[in-house]
Amino acid sequence: MTDIAPIGGGLVGRLVPVEPPIEPAAGRIGPAATPTRTARGADRVEVSRMASLLNQLREMPDIREELVRRVRDQIAGGAYDTPERIEGAIDGILGEESR
């Protein structure tokens, strides 16, 4: 396999350190110096508005299917078509809960 030439004259790329270099503590020289690491920027996470809304939706309580069915049946049967209920609904919509 000696007839295959290396890419780029044998150099694949430049080697770079993965971690920041360790530097001796200020004012100390020699092996007794305490190594310190160069500080890096803090990580942060940004959550989109849509993700926030989806999380709120996920935390909402489940729909009580039986209650919804019962109220729909009462509405269809006319149970809510009384003058008192209509006045209560109007007051609730207008924000006048007490007269």
Q: What is the DSSP string of 29-89?
A: -STTPPEEE---PPP-----HHHHHHHHHHHSPPP-HHHHHHHHHHHHTTTT-SHHHHHHH
Q: What is the pLDDT of residue 77?
A: 92
Note the pLDDT tens digit of each residue in 8-54: 555 455 666 666 656 655 555 555 555 566 667 788 888 899 999 99
Q: What is the pLDDT of residue 14?
A: 61
Domain boundaries, the chain: 63-99
Note the pLDDT tens digit of each residue in 49-91: 999 999 998 888 888 889 999 999 998 998 888 898 889 889 9
